[in-house]
Amino acid sequence: ISPKQLCGVPLLSERRNVLFIMADDLRTSLGCYGDSVVKSPNIDQLASKSKVFLNAYAQQAVCAPSRTSMLTSRRPDTTRLYDFKSYWRVHSGNYTTLPQYFKSQGYFTMSVGKVFHPGIASNHTDDYPYSWSIPAYHPASFRYEKEKMCKGEDGKLHANLLCAVNVTQQPGGTLPDMESTDEAVRLLKTRANDDVPFFLAVGFHKPHIPFRIPQEYLGLYPIEQMTLAPDPNVPKLLPPVAYNPWTDVRKRDDVQKLNISFPYGPIPKDFQLRIRQHYYAAVSYMDAQVGRLLRTLDELGLANSTTVVFTSDHGWSLGEHGEWAKYSNFDVTTHVPLIFFVPGVTSCHDQLRDKHLINKPEHARYQCDLTTISFLLLGLFSCFQKELCTEGNNLAYTFQHQEQGQDEEAISFSQYPRPADTPQVNSDLPDLKDIKIMGYSLRSRDYRYTLWLGFNPKTFKVNVSDVHAGELYMLADDPGQDNNVYSDFEPSVMLTKMASLPHVTLNSFFRNYTQLPLIN
């Protein structure tokens, strides 16, 4: 973006700082995405001054593969990371990450909370020192997330799914996301007067389960006002391989007491309402932490020199299709928020100090993968003119030009591995060695199309002639993706659609799937 005047304000010629915020398991349940239930004033305020991408999708709806894909701008079939048990630099390739590139360009890079997935997936160091100038920070109180911290009806502590707590009674009188915000605020203060630009990534743990959140946020969502998902039943024509049995939810003490049948349930309706209540409360709690970060930028005089990005690693099912987790290719698990605030570009200079929500954010309908984030960020910095090695699409031009309508054949790609054709205990999180089937999914403006194909975990090859199942949802009549019409279409219809898509994109991801005859 050239340093011209926008809204009467000259764009900054110096390099901007970056605040990169990532939520965990956050679907598009935000006011700025049209959710009428949620209360997310801080993110909505950010969105009102930002470019809001309405059609952004994660590449795999589970934490480690999604985050690695996003931060390396490479798809899971390239990183070969489908589970949590490999470090991509030694497993598939020594790829440059987004923060690593900023670091190489003279930025001071910092990580707080859950940015890379911790553990083996990021070499037990969050990819330090490659990606970060200083070791990554993790909140000390996170160690209690899986312990018995939730007071049950019997007065005892349990490892529950629903875990609204009195924060003052928690270890240290705090919670992980509160600690992460404290540290991020501290780091911002240390960088406020430094001439070296910074890249600060802040990863919030919520609304990831368990819903260990301050109990006062439940008051925002009275249980009598909560409603069930509009499609709470498993679709009749859903292939069994496509269903995820939400095993991690079942392991929680309060859910185990319900004696829910495996794999389809259902969860009792009164408990469904409570899950939805707690999820929304967790979103509002996380939103409050985002507000603290944004207020700090303003108080330190950094708002006019800091690009802010807000996104999530993937979504989460709240009872849609009878599911309660991520681990699928549906929109509710792959569709994520993607918000870019660029000072002097997405907002006028004087608007930055406006504390009132402006309900007219610029919504971009461009279909995009989260592999695009690297291109978007780097493309917004005029000093970065190199051609980058990436599998994302460069949408930085969308910040300079008004949207000219939707590209009917723009495609976003997602995928999910399965160990078997029918739901089993490890269907949600199969280890690499157990993956037998890969579900490749295309999301266009008017349809979602998925093929479940045979997969060899030793060679990382897919067998395009081994079709286990298919899904096709026509979104104009079926926005919730409940009516699978795959068997209703003649093969020639989808082949014609597929043939019109960009072959370079399809060939790199679907490996010549345009030649694959569909089966009825």
Q: Are 138 and 118 in contact (CB under 8 A)?
A: yes
According to DSSP, the β-strands at 198-203 and 437-443 are unpaired
Residue closest to 16 by CA, chosen among 431, 265, 493, 340: 340
Catalytic residue among 7, 32, 91, 117: 117
As a whole number of angstroms, the distance between CA 80 and CA 69 comes to 10
In whole angstroms, what is the distance from residue 94 CA to residue 482 CA?
41
Give catalytic status of residue 349 as yes or no: no
Please tell me the distance from the alpha carbon of residue 59 to that of residue 52, in angstroms, as a whole number: 19
Strand 412-418 relative to strand 198-203: parallel, antiparallel, unpaired?
unpaired
- Beta bridge partners of residue 371, listed in sequence order: none
Q: Give the 3-state secondary structure of residue 441.
A: strand
Work out the number of other CB atoms within 10 angstroms of the CB of residue 78: 21
The half-sphere exposure of 275 on its side-chain side, counting CA atoms within 13 A, is 25
Q: CB-side exposure of 105: number of CA atoms within 13 Å? A: 20
Decide: helix, strand or coil at residue 279: helix
HEC profile of 303-318 = HHHEEEEEEECCCCCC
Residue with tokens 């992460």: 180
25 Rama class: left (phi>0) / alpha (psi -120 to 50) / beta: left
From residue 84, alpha-carbon distances to 165, 232, 242 in Å are 29, 30, 21
By CB atoms closer than 10 A (0-12, 13-18, 19+), residue 386 is: exposed
Q: Which of 32, 63, 150, 163 is catalytic?
A: 63
- If you search the block for the tokens 């859910």, which residue do you land on? 255
Active site residue 63: yes
State how far the alpha carbon of 425 is from the alpha carbons of 380, 417, 430, in Å. 44, 14, 9
Residue 149: CA atoms inside 13 Å, Cβ hemisphere, count? 27
Pull the structure tokens for residue 116.
Answer: 């890379």
DSSP state of 334: H
Residue 454 CA to residue 492 CA, distance in Å, equals: 22
Q: Tell me the H-state helices in 5-110.
A: 41-47, 63-72, 76-79, 88-91, 98-104
Catalytic residues: 63, 117
